[in-house]
Chains A and B, each alone.
Chain A
Amino acid sequence: MTPGRGYRIFIHVAALVASVVILAPFVWLLYTSLVGQNDLSTVPLRWWPSHWTLARYRDIFAGRQNSVAAEFRTAVVNSVIVATGTVLVSLVVGVLGGYALARLRFPFRRASLMSFLVTYMLPPITLIIPLYLLMSRFGLLDTKLGLIIVYCSLAIPFSLWTMSNFFGTLPTELEEAARVDGCSRLGALVRIILPLSRPGIIATALFAFLLCWDEFLYSLIFTSTANAKTIPVAIAEFTGRNAVDFGLIAAGGIVASLPPLLLTLALQRYLIGGLSSGAVKG
């Protein structure tokens, strides 16, 4: 079906309009990260500022030790480590558990899944103080490991859900054929199911990554130093008690959105495939 010319023009114009609307705040964010403080509060707003500056990015990438901007660099590293760790653990655990929920018959199957989901519904605020005590007793405060453990408790229910859904959509004939050939259940899992589930796995990985990247409350309360502070906390600290350098927040935000953006772009084909099976089939 070759789309008519009118149709092609229409969708391109629509895409352009949509892009402008979506990008506008983002462009403005970039702008604020590059102009002096004064220009942000000028009324009426002049569209070409009197003072461009790369100082904020310089601070972030090469700032002196112990400045908030330099701490941001460490926070990026922390965020990457914590997110990667969480993704790896929650994927492995989610794949194993998801397989059980999708392929095995056992009593309370539905109830098990629901009980995991219920933990996802609990607002973190309620859990945070006793959780803090637990972490303190095990020496996990202000550690990346501690954050990984807590974030896994958030990511695993979600990954169980998507993985079990996705596995459920795969036809059983392939596994059965492999098992007839002498393959064990786990062998079939690794050799047949996993390769076919790459989209679902990538999708789950990306969601889990973004969950860790964006999470604020737990990180704020459980971390105190550059040992484990993650990006949202570091950005929040750009705000003083009274003074706020919004340009620095903007610069931090832009730098912080690059890794997820690049990651998603690199894996977007799988993302779509994975979402379709995970989301649509019950």
Chain B
Amino acid sequence: MRSQARLAALLLLPAAIAVFGVVLYPAARALIISFYDVDSPFAGRYPFVGLRNYTDILGDSRIWTAAGHTLYFTVVSTAAELLFGLALALLLAAPLRLRWLFRAVVILPWALPTIVTGAMWRLILNAEYGVANALLTQLGLQDGYRSWLGTDPFLALNMVVVADVWKNTSLVAFFLLAGLHTIPRELYEVARVDGAGPIRSFFRITVPLLMPTIAVVLVLRTIEAFKVFDIVYVMTGGGPASGTQTITFFTYLQAFSSQRFSYGAALAYLTVLAILMLALLYLRLLRQNQLRGLS
């Protein structure tokens, strides 16, 4: 037992050095300054304010608004990615001709750098000369050009969701495809022999056995959605009327643009707390599934 512990320490040492060596000092500093009032990037004497930053945050309506946007964004984009991802995964597992080509197509959105994705959607949805407007109008599906990102904050938020879903559904699809591969073929055979149609076996076999994978994807995407920044930054810059400001974007504005470092640090740790609770929830979920003997 003790030699195992020693070996474990040895094997984990490189990882510990590589990660904590880099992260520990910045993370500790951020935690400490969250209890002070630091408003410049230099070291120096700053007033100690205890928990005031944290209480201010909980009382700041802009943050609750941003949290609301983040929640909406997370729920809708994750749900959409799961739905479309599942559909895509089923297609990818089906006996298609030129399957490799289809896989290449599905991978493409994932391979495109996020900043290009954001700029691309911004141009597609442009109110004056965007191709979305051109297509919809010329096909007779809408009367005239409309503004997708400029006038209606809620519509803009939904458009950011669309861009995010387009990029990330491929990843979800591949995860779910892997999960599909673990379901034994025999189960479907047995079901067919018993007279179950495809829809019945989908809901009775596929979905339940895919649950562990779905749970993993769900939490993974939720964490990523909570941290979303790049795509908002490029597509809308938080507008219109702050309608697409998410928590991480707001943290960036506080910490960098306004140089309110302490406030930003406190907000970051509150966000980490929220994500951590989610992750612990995931562990509980998965442990429960394991106990049911599904793995």
Interface residues of A (CB under 8 A from B): 1, 3, 8, 11-12, 14-15, 18-19, 22-23, 25-26, 28-29, 32, 40-45, 89, 92-94, 96-97, 99-101, 104-107, 109, 112, 114, 116-119, 121-123, 125-131, 134, 149-150, 152-153, 156-157, 160, 185, 210, 213-214, 216-217, 231-232, 235-236, 246, 249-250, 252-253, 256-258, 260-261, 264-265, 268, 271-276, 279-282
Q: Are the C-beta atoms of B174 and A280 separated by less than 8 Å? A: no
Q: Name the prevailing secondary structure of the B interface residues.
A: helix
Q: Are the C-beta atoms of B134 and A45 separated by less than 8 Å? A: yes
Q: Closest CB-CB distance, B33 to chain A, in whole Å?
A: 9
On whether A125 and B123 interact (CB within 8 A), knowing A93-B14, A134-B26, A261-B107, the answer reads no
Residues in A neighbouring B83, C-beta threshold 8 A: none
Q: Are the C-beta atoms of B287 and A28 separated by less than 8 Å? A: no
Residues in A neighbouring B41, C-beta threshold 8 A: 129
Interface residues of B (CB under 8 A from A): 1, 4-5, 7-9, 11-12, 14-15, 18-23, 25-27, 29-30, 41, 87-88, 91, 94-97, 100, 102-117, 119-121, 123-124, 128-129, 131, 134, 137-138, 145, 166, 170, 174-175, 177-179, 181-182, 188-189, 192, 212-213, 216-217, 223, 227, 229-230, 248, 251-252, 255-256, 261, 264-265, 268-269, 271-272, 275-276, 279, 283, 286-287, 289-290, 295
Q: Are the C-beta atoms of A105 and B4 separated by less than 8 Å? A: yes
On whether A282 and B174 interact (CB within 8 A), knowing A100-B8, A123-B271, the answer reads no
With beta carbons under 8 angstroms apart, the residue of B94, B111, B264 that contacts A11 is B94
Ordered nearest first, which 7 A-B pairs have the shortest CB separation? A253-B116, A276-B178, A45-B134, A275-B178, A127-B26, A153-B22, A126-B268
Interchain CA distance A123-B119 in the complex, whole Å:
23
Q: Are the C-beta atoms of B227 and A253 separated by less than 8 Å? A: no
Q: Are the C-beta atoms of A32 and B95 separated by less than 8 Å? A: no
Q: Closest CB-CB distance, B97 to chain A, in whole Å?
A: 7
Interchain CA distance A213-B112 in the complex, whole Å:
10
Q: Are the C-beta atoms of A127 and B223 separated by less than 8 Å? A: no
On whether A280 and B11 interact (CB within 8 A), knowing A25-B166, A127-B30, A153-B22, the answer reads no
Residues in A neighbouring B5, C-beta threshold 8 A: 104-107
Name which residue of chain B comes closest to A92, CB basis: B14
Q: Are the C-beta atoms of B128 and A127 separated by less than 8 Å? A: no
On whether A236 and B15 interact (CB within 8 A), knowing A43-B128, A105-B4, A126-B255, the answer reads no
On whether A118 and B276 interact (CB within 8 A), knowing A249-B116, A282-B287, the answer reads yes
Name which residue of chain B comes closest to A244, CB basis: B119
Q: Are the C-beta atoms of A265 and B104 separated by less than 8 Å? A: yes
Interchain CA distance A117-B283 in the complex, whole Å:
12
Interchain CA distance A273-B178 in the complex, whole Å:
7
Residues in A neighbouring B177, C-beta threshold 8 A: 272, 275
Residues in B neighbouring A45, C-beta threshold 8 A: 129, 131, 134, 138
